[in-house]
Copies of this chain bind each other. A is one copy, B any other.
Amino acid sequence: MTNVSGGTLRRRPAQRRSLERVERMLDECARLLDEVGYEALTTKEVARRAEVPIGTFYQFFPDKQGLVRALAIRNLEAFLGRITARLSEVRLSEWTEMVDLTIDEFVAMKRSTPGFAVVDFGGVFATPGGPILKGTDRMLDAALENNAIVADRLRTIVVEVLGAPIGPELDRVLFVAVEAADAVLKLAFRSLPDGDPELIAECKHLVRRYLSAHLPQE
């Protein structure tokens, strides 16, 4: 699996114990996100639940956002892993199948993976804009980058499976598709805890309609 993680951690856990601790903190972070949401989540509480002193928490995570960002990256890697696994099982004949497969897998993770409903790949914040002074929330960039990574991975697959024309146009199209799908699926899960089935169907519809203009028809 490609390691996507960039400078997210302050110190990379070397020993077994530290590694387990970091994993535990991420787990508790995810569960807390489901319970109280991002704003109400406190680093102290995450540390307490993971049975890790607050000082140790800050040995590994630069701040609250770093924690959530790390979780988002873990989610992303899990998602990419599941996608590639499913793709090696199923031999798909049409690209439309890939749309369904991707969305289904995303939906499955929304349902089963703690915290995924809240952060998925990182789109919790929206703080772009002007000269950021202090606090320096670059989380949004992370979200942007992460969805870009999803798009990039999908592009590789699309090009492999059916010889789609490579180029900046394809990049853009897939990027837009991923972003739009993400938004509609968020909507589906806001309406119903397990995701409104009609909205999920509509999401597939939306993506297929859009892509059919850009990908070769079969």
Q: Chain A: residues with CB nearer than 8 A to chain B? A: 33-40, 65, 117-119, 123-135, 137, 140, 144, 172-173, 175-176, 179-180, 182-184, 186-187, 189-190, 198-199, 202-203, 205-206, 209-210, 212-213
Looking at chain A's contact residues, the main secondary structure is helix
Using A176-B206, A187-B176 as known contacts, say yes or no to A127 and B37 having CB atoms under 8 A apart. Answer: yes
Give Cα distance in the complex from A183 to B175, angstroms. 11
User: Is the Cβ of B183 less than 8 Å from the Cβ of A37?
Assistant: no
Stoichiometry, copies per complex:
2
Alpha-carbon gap, A210 to B183, bound state (A): 15
**Known: A144-B190, A210-B206, A210-B209. Contact between A39 and B127, CB under 8 A?**
yes
- With both beta carbons as reference points, the residue of chain B lying nearest to A211 in the complex is identified as B209
Are B127 and A118 closer than 8 Å at their CB atoms? yes
Q: Which residues of chain B come closer than 8 Å to A134, judged between CB atoms?
A: 36, 40
